[in-house]
Amino acid sequence: MRRNLAGGAETAGKHLKATSDWSWYDNDLYGGLNVKGQDTYGFSALPGGNGSSGGSFSNVGNFGSWWSASEINSSSAHFSTMDYNNEYVHWYNGGKGGLYSVRCLQDSP
């Protein structure tokens, strides 16, 4: 897993986020930075929220989680998160019961 890509964890979020569809709150009301995505690398991360193994979702529009291809063991894997109010990409280890987004890529012909 390469956590130094797209400028490193501290700024990768702004480079990986889509340029639209993230919730942007008023800075004065919420105190957030409202970091809009630049989609520098064409990843176009959208804020799909996160879900529990019971099927409920939360934070859609504000937050996104993505599974990594890096497995820890048969019951857990790495995943990353981004949210509307900062540039960070956070990395975590978690149980595979979480409902997170998956990025699919098509092989070149």
Alpha helices in the chain (DSSP H): 12-16, 27-30
Residue range 43-75, pLDDT digits in tens: 899 999 888 778 888 888 888 999 988 899 999
Answer whether residue 50 is part of any domain.
yes
Contact 89, 12 (CB under 8 A): yes
* Block residue for tokens 């702004």: 14
**What does the angle CA 66 – CA 99 – CA 12 come to, to the nearest 5 degrees?**
15
Residue 42: domain span: 5-95
Please indicate whether residue 50 or residue 77 has the higher confidence score (pLDDT): 77
Per the structure, the count of domains in the chain is 1
**CB-based contacts of 97, cutoff 8 Å, min separation 6:** 52, 53
Answer whether residue 101 is part of any domain.
no
pLDDT (0 to 100) of residue 75: 93
Answer whether residue 103 is part of any domain.
no
Rounded to whole angstroms, what are the CA distances from 52 to 4, 10, 39, 55? 28, 27, 28, 6
